[in-house]
């Protein structure tokens, strides 16, 4: 069946057609040509074959998809309305597996509606029949160059060591980012007090349903590039406030701040959504970020405290060697980074450092959260050291709403080794 669908263009093409000089030598690229009309397949096939393209015809979208299963094409030219999977459905199916291959849609009945859909699903060109040879060649030549550029971009990204999103063009990133903000939601991860056998609070963690920016790091990287970090912070705080209004339980909520959020006047505005909940909020400021540049930090921190907020140094142990953020924030809470917690039961060096941090914080009257606990053994060592607050996948993953922790995990354990 497949073999029958794969005659080369030569079989249908006419080697004697006249070819404008400018197209010569641009060929070699492979074109998948999809049309239910055999005459169109032959005509288009010949035009493209004559300028050097390798053309594989397919009689409808379904046939094209089955070809795509085991062959790669540089360009797809497809008719829009065909029995057995039309061009738009083919385009969608192609996009779900290959974001790059240029698709040219051809239609006998151009409509604004389908043209718009074509753009939305990422068609490169939308051509109206009858398509003359020159237009077809130009479109496919252009598509080939776009394809080549895509390959070069990927190569460049590998050299520069960036991920695909970071190298995306600004317009694309803006669109992705807008969708991210629209679909942003907050996951809550429990923080438990084992000495008190209860859930102490939850850390609010931003999540997005936009798959192109799958984790908070990617969202913030994009926000930084677009200089829209402040917007992200505002959306997060608004969403957290909404949840708090819906769940008036007496639990504290830990909210991550980007250092730039500290410059946002909205944070200090008593009418801002989160302000009325300040007494329940611990604002986390990561050790990883540099807050040296904030000359009026002390004043800002004082204002936040007056509003009722508490402050936490996040990711302690993962950031700068210096203690500047610690000294300048005078935090109410310290969160020990998960890199220090990992394998605590097997690593006496880590254990000694964590124990000393706990002792010092106790002396300074600072509450401590150990983060990223993934197993019972890590939790047991931390219990033994008298860690006030624990957080990690072992107790609960970040999830929608305030999920409960199994009763037996709320109790202190004795190390059994
Ligand atoms: O930097 P900060 O501490 O805010 O980062 C918290 C991140 O760590 C969240 O994205 C959360 O999903 C993740 N996280 C929470 N608990 C665990 C854990 O037990 N193990 C690992 N690997 N990640 C965790
Ligand atoms: Mn955090």
Task: Tell me which residue has its CA closest to atom 24 in ligand 1.
Answer: 372
Q: List, for residues 1-57, the tens digit of each pLDDT value.
A: 333 333 333 334 344 444 455 554 455 799 999 999 999 999 999 999 999 999 999
The CA-atom distances, in angstroms, between 60 and each of 1, 35, 38, 405 are 14, 6, 11, 54
pLDDT over 90, % of the chain: 56
- With b meaning 16 or more CB within 10 Å and e meaning fewer, what string describes 41-67? bbbbbbbbbbbebbbbbbbbbbbbbeb
What pLDDT shows up at residue 163?
Answer: 52
pLDDT in tens, 402-415: 999 999 999 988 65
CB 125 within 8 A of CB 142: yes
Ligand 1, closest atom to CA 256? 4
397 alpha carbon to ligand 1 midpoint, in Å? Answer: 9
Q: Nearest residue CA, atom 22 of ligand 1?
A: 372
The ligand 1 atom nearest the CA atom of 288:
1
Alpha-carbon gap, residue 81 to 93, rounded angstroms: 15
Q: What's the rounded mean pLDDT across residues 104-112? A: 87
Ligand 1 pocket, 131 CB below 6 A? no
Q: Take atom 13 of ligand 1 and give the residue whose Cα is closest.
A: 372
Distance 372 CA to ligand 1 centre (A): 6
pLDDT value of position 160: 59
Our answer on whether the CB atom of 371 is closer than 6 Å to any ligand 1 atom is: yes
Rounded to 10 degrees, what is the CA torsion of 350, 352, 357, 362? 140
Q: What is the pTM of this model?
A: 0.63
């Amino acid at each position: 069946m497949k073999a029958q669908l794969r005659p080369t263009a030569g079989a249908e093409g006419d080697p004697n057609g006249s070819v404008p000089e400018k197209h010569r030598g641009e060929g070699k690229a492979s074109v998948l040509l999809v049309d239910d009309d055999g005459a169109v397949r032959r005509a288009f096939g010949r035009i493209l074959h004559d300028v050097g393209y390798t053309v594989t015809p397919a009689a409808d979208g379904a046939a094209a998809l089955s070809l795509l299963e085991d062959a790669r094409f540089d360009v797809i030219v497809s008719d829009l309305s065909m029995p057995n999977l039309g061009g738009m459905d083919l385009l969608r199916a192609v996009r779900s597996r290959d974001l790059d291959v240029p698709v040219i849609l051809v239609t006998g009945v151009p409509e604004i509606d389908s043209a718009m859909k074509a753009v939305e699903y990422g068609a490169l060109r939308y051509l109206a029949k009858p398509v003359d040879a020159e237009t077809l060649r130009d479109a496919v030549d252009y598509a080939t160059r776009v394809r080549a550029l895509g390959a070069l971009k990927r190569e460049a990204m590998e050299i520069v060591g960036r991920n695909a999103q970071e190298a995306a063009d600004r317009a694309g990133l803006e669109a992705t980012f807008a969708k991210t903000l629209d679909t942003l939601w907050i996951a809550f991860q429990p923080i438990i007090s084992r000495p008190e056998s209860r859930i102490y609070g939850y850390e609010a963690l931003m999540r997005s349903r936009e798959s192109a920016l799958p984790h908070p790091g990617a969202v913030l990287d994009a926000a930084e590039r677009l200089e829209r970090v402040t917007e992200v912070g505002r959306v997060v705080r608004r969403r957290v406030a909404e949840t708090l209004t819906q769940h008036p339980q007496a639990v504290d909520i830990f909210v991550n701040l980007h250092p730039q959020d500290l410059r946002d006047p909205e944070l200090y505005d008593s009418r801002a959504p989160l302000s009325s909940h300040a007494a329940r909020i611990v604002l986390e400021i990561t050790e990883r970020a540099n807050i040296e540049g904030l000359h009026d930090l002390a004043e800002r921190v004082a204002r936040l405290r007056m509003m009722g907020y508490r402050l936490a140094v996040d990711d302690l142990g993962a950031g700068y060697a210096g203690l500047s953020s610690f000294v300048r924030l005078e935090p109410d809470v310290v969160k020990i980074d998960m890199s220090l917690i990992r394998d605590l039961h097997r690593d006496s060096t880590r254990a000694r450092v964590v124990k000393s941090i706990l002792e010092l914080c106790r002396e300074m009257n600072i509450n401590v959260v150990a983060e990223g606990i993934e197993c019972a053994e890590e939790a047991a060592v931390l219990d033994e050291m008298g860690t006030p607050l624990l957080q990690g996948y072992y107790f609960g993953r970040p999830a929608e709403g305030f999920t409960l922790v199994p009763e037996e995990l709320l109790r202190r354990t004795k190390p059994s080794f």
